[in-house]
Every structure is written in C-alpha cells, then in structure tokens.
C-alpha cells in the first residue's frame, strides 16, 4: 500500500458505507475506496448485482466486503443498515442512491412515488449521517459524501420531487460541513451534472434517444462514473460543495447570477437537454 493510500485508510477507514453501490457512480466509488484499503459495505436493492460488485472488489483488491440488499425507500431501511453494520467502524459514508428513473411530470404518477423519493433521498441519509456522524466526531476523523445534482440548483419540468430532494441533500451537506469540519469530519456535497450510468442509458432507450443500453456510443457532455468517483475522492477534503465538471461549474455560476424567476425560464427553455438528443 502506498503512503497516500495508507494515510487515506487511516483517516477514513477502516470501513466505507456506500449507498447505491450496485452500478454507476456508487459502484465506481466502492471500487476506488477499496483500492485505497478500505473495507466496503455495499447497499442497494438488488442482491445479485451487489454480489457481483462485491466479488469484483474482492478479486481486485482483496479487501473485505458486505453486500446488503435493502430498499432505501422502505420504512425499515435504516434499521436494516444499522443491523448490517453493527460492530463495524464506518469511517466514510457515501450516499449515492436516489436517481429518478422516470423523468416525467409530477402529476403523471401517484404522489406515493414522490414521497418514496423524499424518504430515500432526504430522510434516510439524514438518519445515517446522524448515526455515523456521532462516532466520527468522537474519533475526530471521518468523511461523508452526499451526492446531489445540478437539478438542485433551480426548479424545472419533469423533476419536481427529484430536484427538491437533491436541493435538500446539497444544503444538508453544506450545513453538516459547517458543524463538523472543525471536529475532523470532512463533509462534501458532490453535485453531479450529466453522468453516463446504466440508469441514464436505460432511460434514453425508453425515450428512443439511444438504440440500446449496451450501445457504446458516448453520451455527449457526460462524465463517466469513474471520473465522478475520482473527483469525489480528490475533493473530499474540499467541502462543503464540489461541482463535477467545468460545464456544470459554469452553468451553476450563470444560473446563480440570475434572478431565480429568470433561471427557471432558462431551464424551461433548455432543461430537456440530453432528452432531446438522438444518439442513434
């Protein structure tokens, strides 16, 4: 193990907890921290997918893993996570669950769909931050990464609940950083722009913008999951907020310079973005 990896493991180990670890950014992040010597607890709904990620991590790094299937929108989600991590010293929490697979108008589905997203994206991460944050402060070290989205910056069509919950996550991360960074706990609100993940590719296929989820055609302007994971680790100590990619940083600055009503109008005009692009 390199000196840098040993220092990382000392500060954020011995275990990382990654919510949303079955694919995409969560899986890439789990691999990246395992490569630095941390054991990894993997959370997601799909046991088989988690088992595959865990097997790959063990084969590549030899570190310990635990694959825990849990529906983070369920009422017993936190209880299951705490039971699965009992006795483990969690030094790094990454909450990467909560993507919106539908991208549709608010009234197109039952309000229960939106409420489930609120539970998964707001209630559960708050409870986990409270539980694991106390131990981190007591040890004087640790880290938390809450994954947010550029959708959190301003309201737009087809992502009412998603954007609102991601705004919650971004502000929660900033506030936690304000309270905890002097106690040795690094907190980062990681704000993602367009990211090439299996979930996005499946959505593009359903919308007719991509021929197949297995199509290797690059998604214009999208970061890869590996790039996002690397950015997260590089800037973990640079909280409270980090925007991934030059384009998102520029967009955030532009939107922030406008009156909010004007920013919403810009999003109405341009918010469809990739959904209007035919990649076939």
Q: Which of 12, 95, 103, 162 is catalytic?
A: 162
Bridge partners for 66 per DSSP: 41
3-state secondary structure the chain: CCHHHHHHHHHHCCEEEEECCCCHHHHHHHHHHHHCCCEEEEEECCHHHHHHHHHHHHHHHCCCEEEEECCCCCCCHHHHHHHHCCCCCEEEEEECCCCCCCCCCHHHCCHHHHHHHHHHHHHHHHHHHHHHHHHHHHHCCEEEEEEEEHHHHCCCCCCHHHHHHHHHHHHHHHHHHHHHHHHCEEEEEEEECCEECHHHHHHHHHCCCCCCCCCCCCCCCCEEHHHHHHHHHHCCCCCCEEECCHHHHHHHHHHHCCCHHHHHHHHHHHCCHHHHCCCC
162 is catalytic: yes
- Asked if omega into 14 is within 30° of 0 (cis), the reply is yes
- Taking each helix axis as running N to C, give the angle between helix 225-234 and helix 24-35, from 0 to 180 degrees, rounded to the nearest 10: 50
Diameter over CA atoms, the chain? 53
Q: Are 264 and 156 in contact (CB under 8 A)?
A: yes
Q: List active site positions.
A: 162
């Amino acid at each position: 193990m390199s000196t840098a990896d040993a220092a990382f493991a000392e500060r954020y180990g011995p275990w990382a907890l990654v919510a949303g670890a079955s694919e995409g950014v969560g899986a890439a992040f789990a691999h990246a921290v395992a490569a630095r010597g941390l054991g990894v607890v993997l959370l997601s709904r799909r046991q088989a997918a988690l088992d595959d990620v865990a097997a790959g991590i063990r084969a590549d790094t030899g570190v310990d893993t635990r694959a825990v299937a849990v529906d983070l929108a369920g009422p017993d989600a936190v209880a299951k996570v705490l039971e699965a991590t009992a006795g483990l010293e969690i030094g790094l929490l990454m909450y990467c669950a909560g993507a919106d697979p539908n991208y549709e108008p608010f009234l197109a589905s039952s309000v229960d769909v939106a409420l489930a997203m609120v539970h998964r994206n707001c209630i559960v991460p708050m409870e986990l931050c409270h539980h694991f944050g106390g131990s981190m402060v007591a040890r004087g070290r640790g880290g938390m990464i809450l994954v947010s989205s550029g959708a959190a910056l301003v309201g737009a069509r087809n992502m009412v609940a998603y954007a609102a919950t991601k705004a919650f996550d971004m502000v929660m991360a900033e506030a936690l950083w304000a309270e905890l960074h002097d106690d040795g706990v690094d907190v980062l609100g990681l704000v993602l722009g367009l990211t090439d993940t299996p979930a996005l590719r499946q959505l593009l296929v359903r919308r007719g913008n991509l021929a197949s989820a297995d199509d290797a055609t690059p998604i214009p302007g999208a970061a890869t999951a590996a790039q996002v994971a690397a950015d997260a680790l590089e800037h973990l100590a640079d909280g409270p907020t980090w925007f991934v990619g030059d384009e998102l940083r520029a967009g955030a600055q532009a939107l922030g310079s406008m009156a909010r009503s004007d920013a919403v109008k810009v999003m109405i005009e341009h918010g469809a973005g990739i959904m209007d692009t035919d990649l076939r």
